[in-house]
């Protein structure tokens, strides 16, 4: 895992960091040398997006899903999940709570659930926009362009759709029921941009079969895509999924494909830091999955190694415990108030301030776009 792999390549922003250098840094294990990466990412973050941390309240509006993504706990074939769809009033109440906490954005996330009719989502977006000044982000899967257009028309500001991995074989392995390829998802991202959304994408780190070269290619792809937001989290095995079973079997027999990337906090931080360097003005969250994989330090490390966004979970507890895309264990019992207080304390500790306003992307000329 830690071969002597030659001289440490220089760090730089945008096009200054080569694909080879990215892969080199992903493999770097020396704590002293990694300090240079953390420092470069933190300085770049400060220079391009400042010390403000934007808070986005997360509301998990439906755990119904038509897809069979092999990593995800709410995949359609998982019979162990009690399915729910939130009521419009409850979603709007969540948005009000986000406003009361001083957040600038509400993120409505759910499975790819066609029982959530196009018009219903549009109605909820219009209500939130009428009752609050919040930015509205949607994360509802690969819906048809007509749906995306209707929701944009209703006032939605942003849309999140991770491509998860740019490795075609791995993409098919984890999305067995999607007819599409990585390029189709990238086309969806262009559709979102054309419709006037701020668009976000991202990946999981440490999926079984994911190599250092493939994660380096993902970071290189981030550089080429003009994304406003990029979410990066460790893969967290869910026991009731095919990929979770594969992960457990590989752990038991210590059988990993050559060049397997670990699903650790450290590796995820390297990906966040490198992504900050190649996309200096993007909004990058310290993700919930990163906070879960290292409860002590995950979120703080993310914020000190390139991230500038946190997404506190505001989903009412009775729904939240049923929205297990990955195992959350004790975390589901934390109240929104407790989560909020924890984040405020963390930001004080880090000397960072809470972002004012909606916290959209402020493009920097010459940032590699």
Stretch that binds ligand 5AD, among 43-51, 232-240, 253-261, 301-309 (CB under 6 A): 232-240
* Dihedral sign computed on CA atoms, order 209, 215, 216, 218: positive
- Pick the binder of ligand 5AD from 156, 286, 325, 354 (CB under 6 A): 325
Q: Is 173 in the site for ligand 5AD (CB under 6 A)?
A: no
* 302 binds ligand 5AD, rule: CB under 6 A: no
Q: Are 198 and 253 in contact (CB under 8 A)?
A: no
Nearest-angstrom CA–CA distance, 137 and 252: 40
Q: 112 vs 220, which CB is nearer to ligand 5AD? A: 112
Return phi, psi of residue 135, to 5°.
-75, 145
Q: How far is the CB of 71 from ligand 5AD (least distance, A)?
A: 4
Residue nearer to ligand 5AD on the CB measure, 89 or 321? 321
Tokens of 193: 């941009």
Whole-number minimum distance, CB 268 to ligand 5AD, in Å? 10
Q: Is 162 in the site for ligand 5AD (CB under 6 A)?
A: yes
For the purposes of burial, counting CB atoms within 10 Å of the CB of 114, is it exposed (0-12), middle (13-18) or buried (19 or more)? middle
Q: Are 56 and 105 in contact (CB under 8 A)?
A: yes
Q: Which of 148, 326, 340, 352 binds ligand 5AD (CB under 6 A)?
A: 326
Question: CA 315 to CA 312: how far, in whole Å?
Answer: 9
For ligand 5AD, give the closer residue by CB, 233 or 298.
233
- Rg of the chain on CA atoms, in Å: 19
Which helix (H) or strand (E) element contains residue 230? Answer: strand 229-234
- Minimum distance between the CB of residue 79 and ligand 5AD, rounded to whole angstroms? 18
Instruction: Closer to ligand 5AD by CB, 234 or 359: give it.
Output: 234
Q: Can you tell me which of 150, 282, 289, 307 binds ligand 5AD, judged by CB under 6 A?
A: 289
72 binds ligand 5AD (CB under 6 A): yes
Q: Which is nearer to ligand 5AD, 199 or 236 (CB)?
A: 236
Q: Which stretch binds ligand 5AD (CB under 6 A): 173-181, 219-227, 233-241, 358-366?
A: 233-241
DSSP codes joined into one string, 247-302: HHHHHHHT---TTBPP-SHHHHHHHHHHHHHHSTTSB-B--HHHHHHSTTTHHHHH
159 binds ligand 5AD (CB under 6 A): no
- State the Cα torsion 13-18-24-26 to the nearest 10°: 50
Residues 235-254 that bind ligand 5AD (CB under 6 A): 235-236, 238
Distance CA 362, CA 146 (A): 28
Contacting residue, 164, 167, 265, 281, with ligand 5AD by CB under 6 A = 164
Q: Where on the chain is the footprint of ligand 5AD (CB under 6 A)? A: 71-72, 162, 164, 204, 233, 235-236, 238, 289, 325-326
């Amino acid at each position: 895992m830690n071969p002597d792999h030659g001289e440490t390549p220089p760090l730089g922003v945008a096009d200054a960091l080569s694909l080879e250098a990215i892969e080199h840094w992903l493999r770097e294990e020396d704590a002293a040398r990694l300090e240079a990466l953390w420092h470069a990412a933190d300085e770049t973050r400060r220079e391009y997006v400042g010390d403000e941390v934007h808070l986005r309240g997360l509301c998990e509006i439906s755990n119904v899903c038509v897809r069979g993504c092999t990593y995800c706990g709410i995949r359609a074939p998982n019979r162990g999940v009690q399915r729910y769809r939130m009521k419009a009033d409850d979603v709007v109440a969540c948005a009000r709570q986000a406003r009361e906490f001083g957040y600038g954005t509400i993120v409505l996330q759910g499975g790819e659930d066609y029982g959530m009719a196009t018009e219903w989502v549009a109605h909820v977006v219009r209500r939130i926009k009428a009752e609050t000044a919040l930015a509205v982000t949607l994360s509802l899967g690969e819906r048809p362009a007509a749906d995306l257009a209707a929701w944009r028309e209703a006032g939605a500001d942003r849309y999140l759709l991770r491509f998860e991995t740019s490795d075609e074989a791995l993409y098919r392995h984890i999305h067995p029921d999607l007819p599409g390829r990585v390029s189709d998802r990238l086309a969806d991202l262009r559709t979102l941009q054309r419709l006037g959304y701020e668009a976000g994408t991202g990946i999981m780190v440490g999926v079984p079969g994911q190599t250092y070269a493939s994660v380096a290619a993902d970071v290189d792809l981030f550089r080429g895509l003009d994304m406003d937001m990029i979410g990066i989290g460790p893969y967290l095995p869910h026991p009731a999924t095919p990929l979770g079973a594969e992960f457990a079997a590989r752990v038991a027999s210590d059988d990993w494909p050559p060049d397997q990337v670990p699903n650790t906090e450290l590796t995820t931080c390297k990906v966040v830091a490198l992504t900050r360097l190649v996309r200096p003005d993007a909004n990058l969250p310290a993700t919930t999955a990163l906070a879960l994989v290292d409860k002590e330090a995950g979120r703080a490390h993310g914020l000190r190694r390139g991230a500038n966004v946190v997404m506190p979970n505001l989903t009412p507890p009775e729904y939240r415990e049923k929205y297990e895309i990955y195992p959350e264990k004790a975390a589901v019992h934390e109240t929104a108030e407790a989560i909020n207080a924890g984040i405020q304390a963390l930001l004080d500790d880090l000397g960072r301030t809470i972002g004012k306003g909606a916290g959209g992307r402020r493009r920097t000329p010459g940032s590699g776009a």
